[in-house]
Amino acid sequence: QRIFAHGWWTRDGQKISKSIGNVIDPTELVSTFGVDQVRYFLMAEVPFGQDGDYSETAMLATANGFLANALGNLQMRVMSLVHKNCDGQVPEPGLLNADDEAMLEAARTLHGKMAPLVACQSLNKACGEMEVVVRMANKYIDEQAPWALKKTDVPRMKTVLWTLMETLRHVAVCCLPLMPASADCMLDQLAVKSEHRTFSSLALAEAMVMAGTPVAKPAGLFPRIELEETLTADTSSAEGAGSAADGEAAKEADPEMVEALQVEIAAAAEAVKAAKSGGADKGTIQPLVDALLALKAEFLELTGTPFDPLKTKKKKKKKKKK
């Protein structure tokens, strides 16, 4: 038998008490951010059993940064392309190349990585494994550019989109204990049968997304949350690139996550550049621009400092000249 005991929670670094007046109303919190967003924040933000700090800035970073920008935006991009370019059906994949296999391998091994972490209550690390796959999928879609392939190689476009749908299936099933309502919504959009929404079904061939299965027009999973008071008060220090708070944020940010985001931003910037130089229409370019801006916002929230891949390239060139 075990007794589970969580650590202490503070709010903006202060002890929570009625006398201070900083008690958090869970009902109000859920009403503002959403049940699944709050659930994910509590599991991903703080190691289970240790003390944790709550702030609206951190809550917004989770809700808007990873959930809305990375996971929700990925699902919307993929399913919108499928619905628009594949007659509203799961596409038929062709031969998989090395990039496809690498993406699917990451997805298919996700549950095996998360399960032992959940078993020892390392919920934040389990969430971290899922986030790695989602970021990899965002990088994959930016590099493969299925919106461009629809003009040059339709069979390849279908293979890329199928690979992404299968990846999202694994992510969604692994998310069921974390965010049950949102994960079910993802699986609904992916047209995954109810009997195939279990961990044991992940390895079954018949549970994979099936070509020809009708898919509905996608809807947003995690709407972006805008709080005027939070934006004017809590995030003011995060927007000042040279402040002391920024310095602390940059120091505390996970170096691997920072590097992964930098790679994502650079890839997204290249995708925008390629779309513009290739004469793509506004409907194609705008989602790419939105994705790039979302990634930059996520980087700012994570590190407290902006990142511009173009400026970074210029600095490297100057150093070489010296």
**Across residues 61-89, what is the average pLDDT?**
92
H and E: helices and strands count for the chain: 16, 3
% of the chain residues with pLDDT over 90? 44
Q: How many other C-beta atoms are found inside a 10 Å radius of the C-beta of residue 129? A: 19
Distance CA(160)–CA(140), nearest Å, equals: 9
Distance CA(268)–CA(286), nearest Å, equals: 12
State pLDDT tens for residues 147-161: 999 999 999 999 999
pLDDT at 248 over 70: no
Does pTM top 0.75 for this prediction? Answer: no
User: What burial letters (b/e) apply to 263-302, b meaning 16+ CB within 10 Å?
Assistant: ebbbbbbbbbeebeeeebeeebbebbbebbebbbbbbbbb
CATH number given to 9-231+243-302: 1.10.730.10
Q: Token match 């009997």: residue?
A: 195
State pLDDT tens for residues 198-227: 999 998 887 788 999 999 888 888 988 876
**Across residues 137-152, what is the average pLDDT?**
92
State pLDDT tens for residues 252-300: 566 766 776 787 788 778 777 777 776 777 767 777 777 787 777 777 7
